[in-house]
Chains A and B, each alone.
Chain A
Amino acid sequence: MAEEQETAEQVEEETFKPSSPTSKLNFKDVWTYDDAPQSTDHAKIDDQYGHFIDGTFQEPVKGRYLPSINPATEEELSSIAEGTQQDVDKAVKSARKAYTKIWSKIDASERGKYVFRLARLIQERAREFAIIESLDGGKPIRESRDVDIPLAAAHFFYYAGWADKLDYAFPGKKAHSLGVAGQIIPWNFPLLMLAWKVAPALATGNTVVLKPAETTSLTALKFAELCRDAGLPEGVVNIVTGTGQTGSLIVNHEDVDKIAFTGSTEVGKIIMKSLAGTDKKYTLELGGKGPNIIFEDAPVDQAVEGIINAIFFNQGHVCCAGSRLLVQEGIADRIIQKLRDRMETLIVGDPLDKNTDIGAINSEQQYNKINEYLELGVNEGAEMYQSSCTLPEQGYFCRPTLFTNVSQSSRIVREEIFGPVLTIQTFRTAEEGIEKANNTAYGLAGGVWTDKGSKIFKVGSKIRNGVVWANTYNHFDPTSPFGGYKESGKGREGGLQGLYPYVKLEN
């Protein structure tokens, strides 16, 4: 009996437990940065927005509006129309008319010019778009200014280039447009996701009915103004706002030829079911639980930076976030210690401040969901570490968080949290790392960190993810396809591959 107990103890000792080193460096404020809030004078937001249909803003038929909240202040920024069946019908009808009468008939090079024009207009008004994106969504101005908006413009530029070259995109085949594309985009990268969808749709000759997320519709509505400024024929782009309900009306509309959806896996499954048996084409870009694998021979300091970027970029509201950190045993303690010290330097606060690293959680609902997961993690027996920064009194803010002492079976390891929450596990051999990385329902993106090129290719090719980054994370480029395996979705956006979902190929 006594012997048995001893063995049990020994086994327990052998399981890895991070030694939880405390923050060793002193990041107290002997010298603090001054507040550097971006002025909002430049951004004009109306009190109320209707739907953008047939080239004009139109009041919703039923006259219902939803508030659009600034998550950093909890104040109402504007109100947006709630789309009902009648609104969606109008929008689809407008898109169909524009498709048959104009857009499918004009020269491909003409189409390209319009798309180029949109790209340039986004660049011209980049500052305004960045401010609105931060006001509306809570993301740091540094990210909306340096990442979201430039990338959105880059996507329009890229696909504008394809418009008159479709005959060369698919050798031996002729590409035809589909018709009306129904597009539903999420709240994490509002304008960027719009660009990912609208740019290839227009370039390939389709017209669009787009529904932005109800918490972040403002940049889409601003984009509607650009469509007008660009002289885009009426009805080519229609924007209907509203909740998921409105989205489902678009999905189920009989006169829509293609559905592109980015959002949760849960909703993706519902869409798939309702599309089964129809001849609508569809692409789904869904959730993720990205593995970020750090090998002992990695450039450690840059890997730490990469981990931070992988999970805390955009408050962790990134479907391809590296939310599952897998560290090779030998350097686990060191990595955790460095991560903790690094987290102490993250500035959480006003999204409009240029110094802010982590802004506001997008909505109250999401804020509550993240907090539920934090509680769940602690209840599951995980060890939680949060940075000690002060949070603003108003608004939905969450401290950057690490969980150690978690396992593959923990819910916080298995489920997508969509917040600044990282789980850390260790592995010993590359095989074990790969197995853990793949042991998930998701497969959107992941990272590999090692100084050894051969290992990058060996491990990278075995990870079942649409994207695998090596020695970096969360880098995007319009020329590169993006999309998921397994429950992370179907189809690709970006690159040449991003044209497929919007064309019919014939010999």
Chain B
Amino acid sequence: MQDFNQTVPIDEVGVKERVSRLNSRSIKKESKVQALKMALSMVDLTTLEGMDTPGKVIQLCQKAKEPHAEMPDLPTVAAVCVYPSMVKTAYKALRGTDINVASVATAFPSGMATFEAKIEETRQVVENGADEVDMVISRGEFLRGNYDYVFEEIAAVKEAAGEAHLKVILETGELQTFENIRKASDLAMEAGADFIKTSTGKVQPAATQPVTLVMLEAIRDYYYETDRMVGMKPAGGIRKAKQALQYLVLVKETLGADWLTPEYFRFGASSLANDLLLQIVKQSTGVYQSELYFSND
């Protein structure tokens, strides 16, 4: 196993140059339609507010099942992501579909709870029907250099999650450097993460393309070493279809075709779905419709 006291050097200027070069890929016409639909199938529809209600969650699940009533042949989104207290509601609403229930557990978003509480919360959400658990790492311990602690915690949550897929949120906006982001990615994957995820969406900056590229490269190196494919989920701040397509280019040219599926790539975004729908409709009708034509769940 990697010695986490060592650092994998990352050159920030180089990362940003690479991203800006990838952003110049031209995606239009058929290629764009395909990408928009692909992006839609990768969305984790999310509602993570203190004022969430069962009604709101049920409506969100409805939207997940049928993103846009006028276009019935659209792909459904990958998952609906909710707080632990809403897992049962979402589970009921999505029963019988391919759409997963994801729950943020482990004292989301701060992660400031005891180890035991986090494990207990994880067990509970899985018991209540979550297919996916989005956990946050203990950033305080990580920044102190207490990598063993962070590692053990992820490994324990992974164990508690059992069959459920574990997405590990690094909260990259709090990790300060690309080197730290790389280290946290390596650590999470070694500890058993099925997915690594940038952000809770509660801290700025949330997902950015340079950060995503660094994490994709970590996934690539881990795959070279172990043959295990880990997924990637940028989350927070991705609102526009155009941004989403740029993320897909990053994946396509860093990890290749095998990662371009909802199984290995997700968008954590609540408002992205509507812009994707707007653009998909635009591609088929040639005109932009008012946003009011799309449900704002």
Instruction: Name A's B-contacting residues (CB within 8 A).
Output: 24-34, 36, 142, 297-302, 305-306, 334, 337, 341, 345, 354-355, 451, 471-472
Tell me whether A34 and B27 are in contact in the complex, defined as CB-CB below 8 angstroms, given that A24-B223, A25-B258 are known contacts.
Answer: yes
Please, which residues of chain B bring their CB within 8 A of the CB of A27? 252-253, 256-257
Measured CA separation A337–B220 after assembly (Å)? 11
| Closest residue on chain B to residue A302 by CB atoms | B14
> In chain B, what residue has the closest Cβ to A337?
B224
Interface residue tally for chain B (C-beta within 8 Å): 33
- Using a CB–CB cutoff of 8 Å, the interface residues on chain B facing chain A are 8-11, 13-15, 17-18, 24-32, 34-35, 38, 217, 220, 223-224, 248, 252-253, 255-258, 260
Query: Closest approach, in angstroms, between the C-beta of B206 and any C-beta of chain A?
Result: 23
**Nearest B residue to A345, CB-CB:** B253
Q: Which among A27, A31, A341, A472 has the greatest number of chain B C-beta atoms within 10 A?
A: A31
From residue A309, how far is it (CB to closest CB) to chain B in Å?
Answer: 9
Given A31-B248, A36-B26, A472-B14 contact (CB < 8 Å): yes
Q: Interface on chain A toward B: helix, strand, loop, or mixed SS?
A: loop
Q: Contacts of A337 on B, CB cut-off 8 Å?
A: 224
Return chain A residues, CB-CB under 8 Å to B11.
Answer: 299, 302, 451, 471
Q: Are A33 and B31 in contact (CB under 8 A)?
A: yes
- Cross-chain contact A305 with B18 (CB below 8 angstroms): yes
The answer on a CB contact under 8 Å between A354 and B31 is: no
* Known contacts A36-B26, A354-B26; is-contact A305 B32 (Cβ 8 Å): no
Interchain CB contact under 8 A, B31 and A297: no
- When C-beta atoms are compared, the residue in chain B nearest to A145 turns out to be B24
Secondary structure of the B contact surface, majority rule: helix
A298 touches B9 (CB 8 A): yes
Residues of B with C-beta under 8 A to A472: 13-14
Task: Quote the shortest CB–CB distance from A349 to chain B (angstroms).
Answer: 13
User: When A and B form their complex, what is the total count of cross-chain residue pairs whose Cβ atoms lie within 8 Å?
Assistant: 81
- 3 cross-chain pairs, A with B, having the tightest CB-CB distances, nearest first: A302-B14, A36-B26, A451-B9
How far does the Cβ of B182 sit from chain A's closest Cβ, in whole Å? 9
Considering the chains assembled together, what is the distance between the CA atoms of A301 and B210 in angstroms?
13
In the complex, chain B residues whose CB is within 8 Å of the CB of A302:
10-11, 13-15, 18
The answer to whether A36 touches B28, judged by C-beta atoms less than 8 angstroms apart, is yes
Closest to B251 in A: A31
Name the B residues within 8 Å of A471 (CB-CB): 11, 13-14
Tell me the bound Cα distance from A299 to B7 in angstroms.
10
Chain B: CB-nearest residue to A471: B11
Q: List 21 A-B contacts (CB under 8 A).
A: A25-B220, A25-B223, A25-B255, A25-B256, A25-B258, A26-B257, A27-B252, A27-B253, A27-B257, A28-B257, A31-B31, A31-B260, A34-B26, A34-B27, A34-B30, A300-B8, A302-B13, A305-B17, A354-B25, A471-B11, A472-B13
Contact flag A355-B26 (CB < 8 Å), given A302-B10, A302-B15, A472-B14: yes
CA of A33 to CA of B33, assembled, Å:
11
> Separation in Å of the B224 CB from the closest CB of chain A?
6
Residues of A near B223 (CB, < 8 A) are: 24-25
Q: How far, in Å, is B217 (CB) from chain A's closest CB?
A: 5
Q: Closest Cβ of chain A: how far from B108's Cβ, in Å?
A: 30
Q: Which residues of A contact B38 (CB under 8 A)?
A: 31
Q: Which residues of B contact A334 (CB under 8 A)?
A: 224
- Chain B residues positioned under 8 Å from A142 (CB to CB): 24
Known: A302-B10, A471-B11. A30 touches B26 (CB 8 A): no
CB of A205, distance to nearest CB on chain B (Å) = 39
How far is it, in angstroms, between the C-alpha of A230 and the C-alpha of B187 when the chains are bound? 61
Neighbouring A residues of B217 by C-beta, 8 Å: 301
- By beta carbon, the residue of chain A nearest B213 is A301
Q: How far is the CB of B26 from chain A (nearest CB, A)?
A: 4
Q: Is the CB of A34 within 8 A of B252?
A: no
Q: Told that A300-B8, A305-B18 touch, could you supply 4 new A-B pairs with CB distance under 8 A?
A: A26-B257, A27-B252, A31-B35, A34-B29
- B224 surroundings in chain A (CB, below 8 A): 24, 334, 337
- Of B9, B10, B248, B257, the most chain A CB neighbours within 10 A belong to B9
Distance in angstroms between the alpha carbons of A345 and B251 in the assembled complex: 11
**Residues B25 and A355 in contact, CB atoms below 8 Å apart:** yes
- Report the minimal beta-carbon distance from B123 to chain A, rounded to whole angstroms: 36
Known: A25-B258, A27-B256, A306-B14. A299 touches B32 (CB 8 A): no
Q: Which residues of A contact B14 (CB under 8 A)?
A: 299, 301-302, 305-306, 471-472
